[in-house]
Amino acid sequence: MFTNHLPAHVSGQDQLIWKILFDRQTALLHRRAAPAFSQGLARLGLRREAIPDLGELSTTVFEETGWRLAPVGRPFEPAAFFELLAERRFPIVTRIRPMHAFDFSPQPDLFHDLFGHVPMLLDSGLADFLHMLGQAYRAQPEGSPAREQLWALYFFTAEFGLVQHEGQPRLYGAGLLSSAGEIHHCVNENTPRIAFDLATVLRTPVTGARYQQQYYVLPAWEQLTDCVAELAGLLAVA
């Protein structure tokens, strides 16, 4: 799965950053991450020593889930992002964060996408959820308030979501899984961790420029797909 030859855009410095981030996050996530993340990380064989080859990793993900990885130079607007999700393709930013942004990167980067998102794609529940979100977004007209609601739902689940497991909230959102600063902020006893409620989530403003003011905790993993059906009913009424 991994190549001994670095791709042209990956430097030795990039590999060092990957290794440091990988070691720190795996230590922080012990007994904090949802089981689906740990299982996905193990199934993919992601390791500290090398940034994976995106082509080979995409082939593995496709064989496991039917999804493909789509390398992109930088993050782009929600419409293009959800269009990829509707086609079962997940964008991977090919640039890794600089050292001064170790704790918190306001924009998705290679580590956020590969370490945070890709292991979770191997969970069929989350993969189906993302696909349904992409299809729902595509079905809404440009400028529709429903598109903003779908973005909020994605943001507070796949990026910053938690789920109850064995009586404890566990992290599954990539923005949490890939950020030491966000993890420390989330687990602070003064930070609100609120039971997931779809109507409340849809009204919550989205911001990626700072730590989140609150996080939403699913009572059970199954509610992730159930909320898409609930949302479809709300959109039909609107």
Domain that includes residue 199, residue range: 12-237
- How much is the mean pLDDT over the chain? 90
Q: Kindly tell me if the per-residue pLDDT of 142 is higher than 50.
A: yes
Nearest to 66 by CA among 122, 139, 150: 122
How far apart, in whole angstroms, are the C-alpha atoms of residue 30 and residue 190? 21
What's the number of domains the chain is made of? Answer: 1
Is residue 184 a part of any domain in this protein?
Answer: yes
* Residue 188: how many other CB atoms lie within 10 Å: 10
Is residue 187 a part of any domain in this protein?
Answer: yes
Is residue 4 a part of any domain in this protein?
Answer: no
Is residue 35 a part of any domain in this protein?
Answer: yes
pLDDT tens sequence across 71-128: 998 888 899 999 999 999 999 999 999 888 888 888 899 999 999 999 999 999 999 9
How far apart, in whole angstroms, are the C-alpha atoms of residue 93 and residue 174? 13
CB-based contacts of 163, cutoff 8 Å, min separation 6: 34, 169, 170, 172, 217, 218, 220, 221, 224
CB-based contacts of 124, cutoff 8 Å, min separation 6: 65
Exposure string of 49-58, with b = 16+ CB inside 10 Å and e = fewer, is: ebbbbbeebb
> With bands split at pLDDT 50, 70 and 90, how would you rate the model's confidence at 2?
very low
Is residue 5 a part of any domain in this protein?
Answer: no
CATH of the domain at 154: 1.10.800.10
How far apart, in whole angstroms, are the C-alpha atoms of residue 156 and residue 202? 9
Please tell me the pTM assigned to this model: 0.92
Per-residue pLDDT, averaged over 128-132, amounts to 94
Is residue 105 a part of any domain in this protein?
Answer: yes
Q: Kindly tell me if the per-residue pLDDT of 4 is higher than 70.
A: no
Across the chain, the runs of DSSP E, i.e. the strands, are: 68-72, 89-93, 162-165, 168-171, 193-195, 215-218
How far apart, in whole angstroms, are the C-alpha atoms of residue 51 and residue 90? 17
Active site residues: 112, 117, 159, 178
Residue pair 57/90 in contact (Cβ under 8 Å)? The answer is no
- Write down the pLDDT at residue 1: 39
- Write down the pLDDT at residue 9: 65
Is residue 2 a part of any domain in this protein?
Answer: no
> With bands split at pLDDT 50, 70 and 90, how would you rate the model's confidence at 6?
very low
pLDDT tens sequence across 144-200: 888 999 999 999 999 999 999 999 999 999 999 999 999 999 999 999 999 999 999
Is residue 117 a part of any domain in this protein?
Answer: yes
Q: How far is CA 78 from CA 82, 88, 109, 113, in A?
A: 6, 15, 16, 16
